[in-house]
Amino acid sequence: MPASLSLKIALSLLRARLGQTVVAAAGVTFGIAMFIALVSFMTGLNKLLDGLILNRIPHIRLYQEIKPSPVQPVDLSKKYRRHQNFIRSIKPRDRGREIRNSQLIMRAIQADPQVVDVAPKLVTQVFYTTGTIELGGVMDGIVPAAEENLFRLSDYVITGNLNDLTTVANSIIIGKGIADKMLVEPGDIIQVSTGMGQQALLKVVGIVQFGIAEIDNIQSYTALSTAQKIQGKPPAYITDIQVKLKDITQAPAIGLEYAKLFRLEAMDLQKANTQFETGSNIRSIISYAVGVTLLIVAGFGIYNILNMLIYEKMDAIAILKATGFSGRDVRFIFISLSLIIGIAGGILGLGLGYVLSVIINHIPFQIESLPTIQTYPVNFNPLYYFIGISFALITTYIAGFFPARKASKVDPVVIIRGK
């Protein structure tokens, strides 16, 4: 039979049971809408949490590690070469924290097509002093332009301007926790002391807040040249090379390559944040599982409704088969019923899911510890909409297939004789 005729019959059957059709379509609509809203919100939340940690950490960090020498003097002795030597209380070798030939290394890394950019850093353990208050912390000497390019540091500067580190001599940007404890504001002068006894008076030109207390209570930034001057080091002195890659998944392999090539220690982002990344993946799995469960439940609703429809329309099915419709035609009619419900409910579900996502994205979410966040985070990724409509069509097809197969096997003679 012509497909157009079969579709007309399917639409007639749908209109005959309009209430059940609406309920089935509403189930699909609700399932898709909740799937999209839930997954968009959860992945948006994951991106927010990832940004608080991962966006502040280089994909690869190159540095000098303080560790014991792998070769001890006794191993060089010819007398004890063939002996099994046991050495206790080995002291670490002081190789210094400076990365030698840092400019050549950074130029070589920047020439790598896999790299977005490179930024130098000088990390110093310091004490912040104002009046009688003294707090321990970490001061990073940075190149503001390079740091901004890699990590968008200015997004976290809640007071002042990141570029003031370059234009204002002997300046510093301190963490919100430090500023609150020491009761200092931009324009105040604080004293910074290193572990080696060097001291300097620095002007506070800004306050930075990441929303993580462990960082906000110790972290500060100054210009790389200022940090070098405080420690009495030459202009080429740095302790860290920070690398940002085009493909973050390649960080472990590229990190090992750089460590071997430049004879430095390499810490990749995945190694530094294993637990955090695991938590992010678990949250994503949970959100997908809940969304898929909603769609499966909607599919069972369609299955039950089509089963009831077939039971109630046995007479119509028998007449169709008696007038020349084959079992294949009847199966096509009822699968079409299911897919029409799936398509209609799916399109409405996409629209409703988008509306719910927009509403969530406009709900105020303002807390002091996250000054850069104004509303709840939502990820409007088109992939979630494609997954939603695809899964809806697959679910409704499967839900309609088994009742359709049952209808195609109806014997019209038995039904008509029974009547």
How do residues 22-73 score in pLDDT, each as one tens digit?
777 787 788 888 888 888 888 888 777 776 666 678 889 999 876 666 666 6
pLDDT in the model for residue 414: 61
Q: Are residues 207 and 240 in the same domain?
A: yes
The answer as to whether 82 is a domain residue is no
Question: Which of 236, 269, 302 finishes a domain?
Answer: 269
Handedness of CA 68, 73, 76, 81 (dihedral sign): negative
Q: Are residues 260 and 331 in the same domain?
A: no
Q: Are residues 327 and 400 in the same domain?
A: yes
Q: Are residues 298 and 334 in the same domain?
A: yes
Q: Alpha carbon 283 to chain centroid distance?
A: 10
Q: Are residues 264 and 172 in the same domain?
A: yes
Range of the domain at 357: 3-54+276-418
Q: Are residues 199 and 125 in the same domain?
A: yes
Q: Are residues 101 and 178 in the same domain?
A: yes
Is pTM beyond 0.85? Reply is no
The answer as to whether 78 is a domain residue is no
Q: Are residues 122 and 21 in the same domain?
A: no
Number of structural domains (the chain) is: 2
Handedness of CA 372, 374, 376, 381 (dihedral sign): negative
Question: Which of 245, 269, 293 finishes a domain?
Answer: 269
Residue 224's closest CA among 55, 99, 68? 99
CA distance 400 to 397: 5
CA distance 7 to 178: 71
Low-confidence ranges of the chain (pLDDT < 70): 1-7, 9-11, 13-17, 51-55, 66-75, 81, 89-96, 272-280, 298-299, 301-302, 305-307, 309-318, 320-322, 367-372, 407, 410-419
Question: Which of 269, 293, 323 finishes a domain?
Answer: 269
The answer as to whether 75 is a domain residue is no
Q: Are residues 40 and 118 in the same domain?
A: no
pLDDT in the model for residue 126: 92
Q: Are residues 191 and 45 in the same domain?
A: no
Residue 196 sits at φ, ψ, to 5 deg, of: -90, 0
The secondary structure of residue 206, as a DSSP letter, is: E
The answer as to whether 142 is a domain residue is yes
